[in-house]
Amino acid sequence: MTRTRMVVVGGDAAGMSAASQARRRRPAEDLAIVAFERGPHTSYSACGLPYYASGMVGDWERLVVRTPDQFAQQDIDARVRHQVEEIDLDAGRVRVQDLEQGRGFDEPWDVLVVATGSEPVRPPVPGLDLAGVYGLSILQDGLDLRRAVDAKPERAVVVGGGYIGLEAAEALIYRGIETALVAQSPEVMSTLDPDMGALVTRGLRDAGVEVYTGEKVEAVEGDGRVRAVRTAGRTLPADLVVLGIGTQPNVAIARQAGVALGPTGAIEVGPRMQTRHEGVWAAGDCAETRHLVSGGPVNYHLGTIANKQGRVCGINIGGGYATFPGALGTAVTQVWPVEVARTGLSEAELRPLGLEYETVTIDSTTRVSYFPGAAPIRIKVIAERRSGRLLGAQIVGKEGAAKRIDVFATALWNRMTVEDMINLDLSYAPPFSPVWDPVLIAVRKAAERIEATMADCR
Ligand SMILES: Cc1cc2nc3c(=O)[nH]c(=O)nc-3n(C[C@H](O)[C@H](O)[C@H](O)COP(=O)(O)OP(=O)(O)OC[C@H]3O[C@@H](n4cnc5c(N)ncnc54)[C@H](O)[C@@H]3O)c2cc1C
């Protein structure tokens, strides 16, 4: 029997999920699996990096889910510090550089999985290479930032108001470091609409972060080592800077090889995660998917999606049948004590689609108002005009608020209307929610709004 040779590029969530799933279905005599990872670790939790940097998670090894030795027990040859430099689609081989030994070699494949993830955006701002400027992308970044934080800097500046910027700010404040955050958007968390983002901006300020929104960073200043961050409006002193400006799909080697990219700039894949090229698959942050509400192509950088896409890819390579139907961009984060969540489409994403919609925003509490620990929660619901189909939801609140987004994500998945949702049999007891859960209050109001607009149409 000829063994099929599977090569995986990228040894984290998507790549190693694909390898593990393929192995579960095909034994080593039938399928040889080699995974190349340029960093020193496989299968680590990037999501845990801010919590390691803050010291909330004490031991970085707990962020590593599976080591190369553990993969070896599954007959998966996971080689760290090996960078794939080139893909040859015609010859069916990759050019690999062993970063420890400093030697290059070719590895042939019958099946190739591109799972190269995403990389931080690096805008052309002078000073980003100064010592004391950190990114937060791979495990090593988390180790470096933790070391810098342990050295007790006095002042830090976070550049970027997305979830990585927010989580970095939370980590720095947790360590008692005076922290400022600069964001170019009018409010932080621009994946929410500005009315909900404003609540997060306020929450950040309440948590003790100096926040400057609508300001572009012009330069990071220093003399070998960072001293300050300059925007159009001010100069913020800094002993440490964390960049959280955004991420883009890491597709350089795929593009060079001629792998087809989609309109988002990520690798175009079909529902089974196969690319247009025979034997070539892609999964995770470097791959495109379909938005389940708009139907359009999207490229999310979320561990939830990367793991599922990797699984689907591996099942198919293993001879099974699985599809990844698409995503909603469901995401949660927090800047203690403020929790933030979103799913589906925001108003900003809906406007260019020409879909007409109604929005409602409600305020409630996470527990019955008389129960100790009842905390505020605000929910915004977006529903299609006339049909009442749920299009998106956003939540900002305190403890117990964010995970309610999963009810909306499930409803979106099932194409429910806000009217359908009113009678959902959600649980209730005073420590957990009011008798009308805030989710139900929000959809009830949304259904009333839809009904009122229907009356206007008659
Ligand atoms: C700080 C932070 C917090 C996050 N928090 C959350 C969260 O709370 N929830 C959530 O859903 N998502 C979160 N994410 C996103 C999540 O971590 C990613 O979506 C997920 O890791 C993507 O998995 P992936 O396998 O596609 O890519 P990656 O995890 O980026 O892995 C790709 C791997 O490929 C390797 N590689 C790249 N090019 C090559 C090459 N040429 N040769 C060899 N190896 C290569 C890289 O070194 C990398 O290890 C967070 C990300 C960060 C950075």
Q: Which atom of ligand 1 lies closest to the CA of 49?
A: 1
- pLDDT in the model for residue 458: 59
120-142 confidence digits (pLDDT tens): 998 899 999 999 999 998 899 99
From the CA of 58, how far away is ligand 1's center (Å)? Answer: 21
CA 141 to ligand 1 centroid distance, Å: 12
Does residue 12's CB lie within 6 angstroms of at least one atom of ligand 1? Answer: yes
CA of 422 to the centre of ligand 1 (A): 38
Q: Is 286 a catalytic residue?
A: no
pLDDT value for 362: 98
Q: Cβ(253) to ligand 1 under 6 A?
A: yes
User: Which neighbouring-strand residues pair with 455?
Assistant: none
Q: Is the CB of 13 under 6 A from ligand 1?
A: yes
Nearest CA to ligand 1 atom 8: 47
At residue 367, the pLDDT reads: 97
Ligand 1 centroid–CA 301 distance in Å is: 8
Q: Which pLDDT score, from 0 to 100, does residue 122 have? A: 86
> For residue 454, what pLDDT is reported?
78
Q: Give pLDDT < 50 ranges for the chain.
A: none
